[in-house]
């Protein structure tokens, strides 16, 4: 049984009851349109916590006017059914008017890991993410929060925000779930035509090949540039392919640094992102 609450009062009442019983509470923030990747996050949360809250909120603050806020899939009924099947105790689905009431005037800004990459193409994105995630964390007051590594830069931004604001909780990254052909699961995959869907796994394939070349000793920046060129030749509009320090996302400066390869590319009207560790 997955209970659905929409008000912060109901949410806090349930969480307070759990906490009163000494239970560990995890949150999995989502924008709904749940797929196997989200359910994997819930499973990871269930392994560490006694109770799991899944938040479902398509956050207007992280979409630019020209982006896909309106057409972003909203499937609350099937989302809740999926959460029930997997044993998530609580879904919290606030309205936009409840999250951002009239007079709302506070926002968060993150530099550091938020600089470059996604920010070059979606300048308002991480401010919107940091603000809504802070609000959700302070509404739920969880012990743990689970985010997918598929949005790797977002994971680092959220970790940074939680550390900087001294929120008494831990942010846990969970490895990306992929289709059999390697395509990272994403709610936006639903936008792809059959033809585009055939092309999409090439992003992951290129990242894997690039990682092998870097392990073999090739220069990370040159390898990333070559991968970007290969994706462009294959028909993608490439926003970036980049090799970065896996902890700070700063450019790779010396041998032995932990490296993460990150890519963003568009097929038709759909923008896909992926990343892997080297």
- Minimum gap (Å) between residue 137 Cβ and a second copy: 9
202-215 vs 220-233: helix crossing angle, rounded to 10: 160
Q: Confirm or reject binding of residue 107 to a second copy (CB under 8 A).
A: yes
User: Could you give the maximum distance between any two Cα atoms of the chain, in Å?
Assistant: 58
Burial class (CB in 10 A: 0-12, 13-18, 19+), 115: middle
Q: Confirm or reject binding of residue 234 to a second copy (CB under 8 A).
A: no
Report how far residue 135's alpha carbon sits from residue 137's, in angstroms, rounded to the nearest whole number.
5
Q: Which of 4, 8, 24, 225 binds a second copy (CB under 8 A)?
A: 8
Whichever of 95 and 107 has its CB closer to a second copy, that residue is: 107
Size of site (CB under 8 A) for a second copy: 28
Which helix (H) or strand (E) element contains residue 247? none
Q: What is the DSSP string of 120-167?
A: HH-TTHHHHHHHHHHHHHHHH--SEEEEEGGGHHHHHHHHHHHHHTT-
Q: Confirm or reject binding of residue 165 to a second copy (CB under 8 A).
A: yes
- Minimum gap (Å) between residue 161 Cβ and a second copy: 5
Q: Which of 36, 109, 229, 237 binds a second copy (CB under 8 A)?
A: 109
Report how far residue 151's alpha carbon sits from residue 272's, in angstroms, rounded to the nearest whole number.
10
Residue count of the chain, please give it. Answer: 278
Q: Confirm or reject binding of residue 112 to a second copy (CB under 8 A).
A: yes
Task: State yes or no: is 38 an active-site residue.
Answer: yes
End-to-end, the C-alpha distance of the chain in Å comes to 41
Q: Which of 4, 76, 86, 167 binds a second copy (CB under 8 A)?
A: 167
Q: Confirm or reject binding of residue 161 to a second copy (CB under 8 A).
A: yes
Whichever of 93 and 134 has its CB closer to a second copy, that residue is: 134
- Minimum gap (Å) between residue 105 Cβ and a second copy: 3
Q: Which one of the spans 41-49, 111-119, 181-189, 213-221 is the region binding a second copy (CB under 8 A)?
A: 111-119
Q: Give the footprint of a second copy on residues 135-154 (CB under 8 A).
A: 135, 138-139, 141
Indicate the Cα dihedral angle 4, 124, 191, 89, nearest 10°: -20
Which helix (H) or strand (E) element contains residue 253? none
User: Residue 274's beta-bridge partner residues?
Assistant: 263
Residue 81: how many CA atoms within 13 Å on its side-chain side?
5
- Bridging pattern class, strands 25-30 and 270-277: unpaired
Whichever of 231 and 252 has its CB closer to a second copy, that residue is: 252
Q: Which of 111, 193, 219, 269 binds a second copy (CB under 8 A)?
A: 111
Q: Confirm or reject binding of residue 7 to a second copy (CB under 8 A).
A: no
Catalytic-labelled residue, pool 35, 38, 104, 124: 38
Q: Confirm or reject binding of residue 213 to a second copy (CB under 8 A).
A: no
User: Residue 156's beta-bridge partner residues?
Assistant: none
Q: Give the footprint of a second copy on residues 9-48 (CB under 8 A).
A: 12
Q: Which residues bind a second copy (CB under 8 A)?
A: 8, 12, 103-114, 130, 134-135, 138-139, 141, 160-161, 164-168, 248
Give the catalytic positions in this structure.
38
């Amino acid at each position: 049984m997955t209970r659905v609450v929409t008000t912060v009062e109901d949410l806090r009442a349930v969480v307070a009851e759990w906490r009163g019983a000494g239970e560990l509470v995890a949150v999995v923030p989502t924008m709904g349109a749940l797929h196997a990747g989200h359910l994997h996050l819930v499973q990871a949360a269930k392994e560490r916590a006694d109770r799991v809250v899944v938040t479902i909120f398509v956050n207007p603050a992280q979409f630019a006017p020209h982006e896909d806020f309106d057409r972003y899939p909203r499937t609350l009924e099937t989302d809740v059914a999926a959460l029930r099947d997997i044993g998530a105790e609580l879904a919290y689905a606030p309205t936009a008017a409840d999250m951002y009431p009239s007079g709302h005037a506070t926002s968060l800004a993150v530099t550091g890991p938020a600089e470059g990459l996604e920010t070059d193409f979606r300048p308002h994105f991480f401010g919107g993410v940091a603000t809504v995630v802070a609000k959700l964390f302070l509404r739920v007051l969880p012990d743990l929060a689970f985010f997918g590594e598929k949005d790797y830069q977002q994971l680092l931004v959220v970790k940074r925000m939680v550390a900087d604001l001294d929120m008494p909780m831990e942010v846990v990254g969970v490895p990306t779930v992929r289709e059999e052909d390697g395509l990272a699961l994403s709610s936006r995959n639903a936008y792809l035509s059959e033809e585009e869907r055939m092309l999409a796994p090439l992003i992951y394939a290129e990242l894997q090949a690039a990682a092998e070349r870097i392990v073999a000793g090739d220069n990370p920046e040159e390898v990333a540039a070559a991968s970007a060129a290969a994706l462009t030749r294959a028909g993608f509009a490439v926003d970036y392919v980049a090799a970065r320090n896996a902890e700070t996302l700063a450019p790779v400066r010396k041998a032995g640094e932990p490296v993460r390869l990150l890519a963003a590319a568009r097929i038709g009207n759909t923008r896909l992102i992926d990343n892997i560790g080297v």
